[in-house]
Structure 1
Amino acid sequence: MNAPNNPELQAARALQLAQRVDAIEPFRVMEMVKAAADLKHAGADIISMSVGEPDFTAPEPVAQAAIEAIRAGHTQYTVSLGLPALREAIAGHYASAYGVSIDPRRIVVTAGASAALLLACAALVNEGDEVLMPDPCYPCNRHFVSAFGGKPVLLPCGADARYQLSAAQVAEHWNARTRGVVVASPSNPTGTSMTPAQLQEIIQAVRARGGFSVVDELYSGLCFDGAPVSALSYGDDVITVNSFSKYFHMTGWRLGWLVVPEALVPVLEKLAQNLFICPSAIAQYAALACFSQEALAICEARRLELKRRRDYFVPALRELGFGVPVMPDGGFYVYAEIDKLAHKDAGDSTAFAWSVLNDTHVAIVPGDDFGFAAPRKHVRFSYATKYERIQEAVDRLARVLSR
């Protein structure tokens, strides 16, 4: 919206905002969430397939640990790098889940994965640095780079590449201004993973050019078609980002972590001390219970439930006429093509998403958020909602698309 018609924007401009604000676009997912909430408040039966949030909440042992932490008075500041016991527990999880040995001193606990990415970009990105990313990708990743004066360079990655960046693209587009890459496996919005060979090749290509590799592994615990692989298997110079939000279902607790080269730890500690002081003490004490046998069993059962939903939903979308050329193998997203649908808005994903919300009360997300490579022909579905609600969403979509 232009400033002359927007009093709020005019008032903001009067404050002489920093130029970096202009480089950060609105997060359209959240706009859709707000609109769906307004309809729900007005009495509509909304099926949310927009926001990337599991319908499960934290396992009971985790909730109980939070209560016990509050009662015991464990609510004050912790050290900026996180509780030593939690860093050790995370390292133990890498050993058991991924077969990777990690020194706990390399683990930095953060106020969510967003804070982890923010710290990584603050430490690594200079004004004018270019950072390579796949297109499509999670929008906030490129905005973190922009916030520190860097230039995110999005490289189109189609279904034939499982929507993932390749080492060949890294080699082709690397120049004197390129500083590193940010990739995700499994990816938001596509739910697709890199093969181990693909991941290793990218890391080697970046390493050979003296750059950094940041790998978003938020959904690595939610892999459905094979054992998860961590990028940490391919060298101590790799930086990974993870979170308690997805596999452990602690979205509102705002707790994540980084694994970084040992030399980077004091740098991130200094930044964290100044920018965040420390992550939530209560969330950290609660997260210690995530690695109990009881909590892990709950999370594994939920992972299988998400797989059950995927195995129903993807074929159902294809039956309705959506294009899903690649089976998502992790997370809880489907990046679907709409351009061959018999619908008036099949050529415009934003118009299509709003039409679906208004006509069916199913909330989905247009492709615009996720990059510049054919976003108008894609929408993202999140199947992190109950199986029966997904079935109902399919029925509603079928009624609209059959008109």
Structure 2
Amino acid sequence: MNPHLASRLANIAPFHVMELAKRATELERQGRSIIHMGIGEPDFTAAQPVIDAAARAMADGKMQYTSATGIPALREVIANHYRHVYGLDIAPSRIIITAGASAALLLACAALVDKGTEVLMPDPSYPCNRHFVAAFEGQAKMIASGPEQRFQLSDTVVREHWGAATRGVLLASPSNPTGTSIPHDELRKIVATVRERQGFTIVDEIYQGLTYDEAPFSALSLGEDVIVINSFSKYFNMTGWRLGWLVVPESMVPAVEKLAQNLFICASSIAQHAGVACFSPEAISIYEQRKAEFKRRRDFIVPALRQLGFRVPVTPDGAFYVYADCSALSDDADRLTIEMLHEAGVVLVPGLDFGPYTAKSYIRLSYATSMENLQEAVTRLEKFFAARR
């Protein structure tokens, strides 16, 4: 007899990005050449100083449990990073080291979301964000956010949609899937509006290090009550290391620490010791060079997509995604991505995962792959669309 599954699973949809990746992998097993621009994973790996630090940690036997909040050295270098890059004085005691940004989001939702709690977020959004809310029996209220709003929430929209059950907002800047950021003044207004209503503001900043056109800023500059998520996966190219952090108000630290002790014990000790090296001048120099390469790729692929017939209504200013309107090429983004995979050998992702508002008309492209792959993908898609005319 199979066990009865919890009813909350009905509120968590499959992750179509991963399903498409499985199809692509099967085609590769059959001998097909596939260019992957679906999953948001840097093609770079950890910088050599970080790998060396991990090897030293293992050689020195630093592989035991750590504090649930993380090793002091890592919390301190992250605090120094906020001071150096953003001019912010963040106490290391407010920084909780987590098993990736996913664990940070899980801890934040576990601490703040009650049964029936409504959390506002834009449609489109990273799908797991709404599922973290659902896991704690809250309700993600997805608000249609088009290119006019840079696919983000605005203060006006937050005011309009805040209801009796609303307790907070969950934002991402820069965003997955759109690569767009919330302007500083607009984010300041949103935080003030939420604060007036005694709600919480969670801002996912895992792509903040990959901001290209203006000086980056952190939502932490808007007050100690703002909760920020960050990660070593994207800017630091450490996806499989499962390391991230959470910055919370001092008053929340005991509650989050208690949750972390029970849910995770701690993040990987080896990853934590390696993570300290991410902030060395040598490593930062490497990461800044890679950031420049991501920008170069963006500056190639955005006009190339427009030339192919996609509409890119908002040029992404961060992350490594382009969110492109494919409605001039197809009336069904999901079907189009399957056809591009099978006929052109190119993996792109339909808007289906990111919310209903853009599901049929948008695709997401990840340019976290080599320039050679991007150029070859454009060549293949040119032939694909030419054959359809």
TM-score range, shorter chain: over 0.9
CA distance in structure 1 between the aligned counterparts of 2:87 and 2:296, rounded to whole angstroms? 26
The alignment status of 1:396 with 2:380, answered yes or no, reads yes
1:83-126 CA-partner distances (Å, limit 9, x unpaired)? 01100000001111111110000000000000000000000000
Query: Which amino acid is 2:74 matched to?
Result: L
| Secondary structure, counterpart of 1:402 in structure 2 | helix
Query: Which amino acid is 2:104 matched to?
Result: A
- Give 1:34's aligned residue: 22
The alignment status of 1:199 with 2:187, answered yes or no, reads yes
Query: Which amino acid is 1:397 matched to?
Result: L
Query: Which amino acid is 1:265 matched to?
Result: V
| Secondary structure, counterpart of 1:222 in structure 2 | coil
Counting aligned pairs with the same residue, the percent is: 58
- Give 2:110's aligned residue: 122
1:247 aligned residue (225, 230, 235): 235
1:58-94 CA-partner distances (Å, limit 9, x unpaired)? 0000011111111110011000000011000000011
CA distance in structure 2 between the aligned counterparts of 1:382 and 1:374, rounded to whole angstroms? 17
- Give 1:162's aligned residue: 150
- Give 1:188's aligned residue: 176
**Alignment RMSD, CA only?**
0.7
Query: Which amino acid is 1:358 matched to?
Result: H
- Give 2:337's aligned residue: 353
- Give 2:8's aligned residue: 20
* Equivalent residue runs for 1:1-400 within 5 Å: 14-341=2-329, 346-400=330-384
CA distance in structure 2 between the aligned counterparts of 1:49 and 1:362, rounded to whole angstroms? 7
- Give 1:3's aligned residue: none
Distance apart, 1:37 and its partner CA: 1.2
Unaligned 5+ residue runs, structure 2?
none
Query: Which amino acid is 2:274 matched to?
Result: A
| Secondary structure, counterpart of 1:258 in structure 2 | strand
CA distance in structure 1 between the aligned counterparts of 2:85 and 2:290, rounded to whole angstroms? 16
Distance apart, 1:46 and its partner CA: 1.1
Distance apart, 1:15 and its partner CA: 1.4
CA distance in structure 1 between the aligned counterparts of 2:6 and 2:212, rounded to whole angstroms? 43
TM-score (norm 2): 0.99
Distance apart, 1:34 and its partner CA: 1.1
CA distance in structure 2 between the aligned counterparts of 1:71 and 1:357, rounded to whole angstroms? 44
Query: Which amino acid is 1:395 matched to?
Result: T
Distance apart, 1:374 and its partner CA: 2.7
Query: Which amino acid is 1:379 matched to?
Result: I
Query: Which amino acid is 2:139 matched to?
Result: K
| Secondary structure, counterpart of 1:221 in structure 2 | coil
Aligned residue pairs total 387
| Secondary structure, counterpart of 2:313 in structure 1 | coil
| Secondary structure, counterpart of 2:201 in structure 1 | strand
Distance apart, 1:253 and its partner CA: 0.1
CA distance in structure 1 between the aligned counterparts of 2:358 and 2:320, rounded to whole angstroms? 21
| Secondary structure, counterpart of 2:198 in structure 1 | coil
Distance apart, 1:42 and its partner CA: 1.8
CA distance in structure 2 between the aligned counterparts of 1:121 and 1:199, rounded to whole angstroms? 20
CA distance in structure 1 between the aligned counterparts of 2:49 and 2:332, rounded to whole angstroms? 45
1:27-65 CA-partner distances (Å, limit 9, x unpaired)? 111111111111112211111100000000000000111
